[in-house]
Amino acid sequence: MNGYERRKEQKKMDIKKAAFTLFQQQGVKDIKIEDIAKEAGVSQVTIYNHFGSKEALFREVIKDYTIEQYEFHKDLFDKNISFLEKMKTSILHKTKQVANIHPEVIREMMLVDEELRAYLTEFQSSHAIPLIMQLIKDAQKTGEINPDLSEQSIMVYIQLFNNDMLISMITAENGKKLASDIFQMFFYGLSQPKE
């Protein structure tokens, strides 16, 4: 890659970083290309030349974020730590991430933008679910998860505790107690802890 191509790629990265910061803080609708250009230190024309529209830039930013989150979990699940620690770290990480993203961004990516929703659905089925399935198989081999349980039932169970509505409740003002209770139920069920 020559100097011109490096500068071009750096500008694209700067634009996406600036856009993500603004989307996180203020949502999508109120942000203008002009705001992103100012934050990134580039002209509006540069943004249009690289991305075409604010909507296309938003999709690029969310796709990058999705890949970044996948890589975080891939690295986490490869660590030599217990299944319990992996799941606890994963849920805490997702809770923290959701707390830092403007609710409009989540609504836009999950409900409004059909192209982005299709991408995220495909990414989940081709990348995220196989990653979780491998984690489950590994935990069943080590005896951390009951090997008699079907992978499908375990996936349903994990999804119950790992959905966006629950995450948004945990990140609410009094969410620490709720988060603590959810972790307790996730790992130990509803039974009374043994002394």
Q: Give the long-range contacts of residues 135-144, CB within 8 A, separation 24 or more.
A: 135/77, 135/83, 135/86, 138/83, 139/83, 142/83, 144/82, 144/83, 144/84
Residue partners of 98: CB distance under 8 A and separation at least 6: 106, 164, 167, 168, 171
Neighbours of 104 (CB within 10 A): 16
pLDDT of residue 77: 96
Instruction: Going residue by residue through the chain, which has 195 residues, state the pLDDT in tens, using 9 for 90 and above.
Output: 788 788 888 899 999 999 999 999 998 898 999 999 999 999 999 999 999 999 999 999 999 999 999 999 999 999 999 998 998 888 788 877 877 887 778 777 777 788 998 998 899 889 998 998 999 899 999 998 888 988 888 878 777 765 655 555 555 555 566 666 766 676 666 665 555
Output the pLDDT for position 78.
96
- List, in order of start, the domains of the chain with CATH numbers: 1-52 (1.10.10.60), 55-188 (1.10.357)
Q: Among positive and negative, which fits the CA dihedral 183, 90, 94, 111?
A: negative
Selection from 48, 68, 50, 59 nearest residue 7 by Cα: 50
pLDDT at 141: 93
